Amino acid sequence: MTIKQILINLGKLLLCALALEVGTMIGGMIAVALKLPIPKSPSGADMKSIQLYMVLVTPLYALALAVIARGLNTNFLGRTLILSFFAWITYTVNTQLEASIVSTYSSGFWFALISAIPSALLCGATTAFLFPMNNPVKGLSEAIKDFFSRRSLLDWIWRFIVAAVAFMPIYFIFGLMVIPFTGEYYRQSMFGLVMPTIQQLLPILFTRSVLFLLVCLPIIILWQKSDASLFWSLGLALFLLVGFVLMLIATWLPLYVRFPHTLEILADEFVYAGTLILLLQKRNKKPAR
Q: Cα–Cα distance between 224 and 140 in angstroms, integer?
A: 11
Q: What is the pLDDT of residue 188?
A: 80
Q: What are the pLDDT digits (tens) for 257-268?
A: 889 999 999 999
Q: Cα–Cα distance between 13 and 64 in angstroms, integer?
A: 10
Half-sphere exposure of 57 (CA within 13 A, CB side): 20
- Secondary structure of residue 87 in the 3-state scheme: helix
Residue among 81, 50, 79 at smallest CA distance from 66: 79
Contact 219, 81 (CB under 8 A): no
CB-neighbour burial class of residue 108 (10 A; exposed 0-12, middle 13-18, buried 19+) = middle
Q: What is the pLDDT of residue 107?
A: 66
Q: Cα–Cα distance between 147 and 285 in angstroms, integer?
A: 11
Q: What is the pLDDT of residue 283?
A: 54
Q: What is the pLDDT of residue 73?
A: 87
Q: Cα separations (Å) of 163 from 15, 170, 210, 278?
A: 35, 12, 8, 10
Q: Cα–Cα distance between 244 and 240 in angstroms, integer?
A: 5
Q: Cα–Cα distance between 267 and 231 in angstroms, integer?
A: 13
Q: What is the pLDDT of residue 128?
A: 95
Q: Does the reported pTM lie above 0.75?
A: yes
Q: What is the DSSP string of 116-133?
A: HHHHHHHHHHHHHHHSPP
- Secondary structure of residue 7 in the 3-state scheme: helix
Q: What is the pLDDT of residue 285?
A: 43
Tell me the pLDDT of the chain (289 aa) as tens digits.
Answer: 688 888 999 999 999 999 999 999 999 999 999 999 887 776 666 667 777 778 888 999 999 999 999 999 888 999 999 999 999 999 999 999 988 888 776 667 899 999 999 999 999 999 999 998 876 666 677 888 888 888 999 999 999 999 999 999 999 999 889 888 888 887 887 777 888 888 988 999 999 999 999 999 999 999 988 999 999 999 999 999 998 998 888 887 888 888 999 999 999 999 999 999 999 986 544 443 3
